[in-house]
């Protein structure tokens, strides 16, 4: 089977460093993304969660992301 998130942030981190970005505010609910970028030497000075309004179509999906993958989501 596949891991829940198999993305590698190396290419993105290299592009950011090439553009002169070494510190950033990261807009994400995914804690793995932060760790992935920090592993490539980028400094995350602030993690800004993305507010998502749940509805009948996405509520189950969002709860899974929160409960099984540790995403920062306040679903009310």
Which residues carry out catalysis?
Answer: 5, 7
In whole angstroms, give the CA distance from residue 20 to residue 51: 28
In whole angstroms, give the CA distance from residue 42 to residue 11: 12
């Amino acid at each position: 089977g596949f891991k829940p998130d198999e993305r590698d942030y190396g290419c993105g981190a290299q592009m950011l460093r090439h553009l002169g970005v070494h510190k950033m505010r990261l807009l994400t609910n995914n804690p793995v993304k932060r760790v992935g970028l920090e592993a490539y030497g980028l400094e995350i000075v602030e993690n800004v969660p993305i507010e998502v309004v749940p509805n009948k179509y996405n509520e189950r999906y969002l709860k899974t992301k929160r409960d099984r993958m540790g995403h920062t989501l306040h679903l009310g």
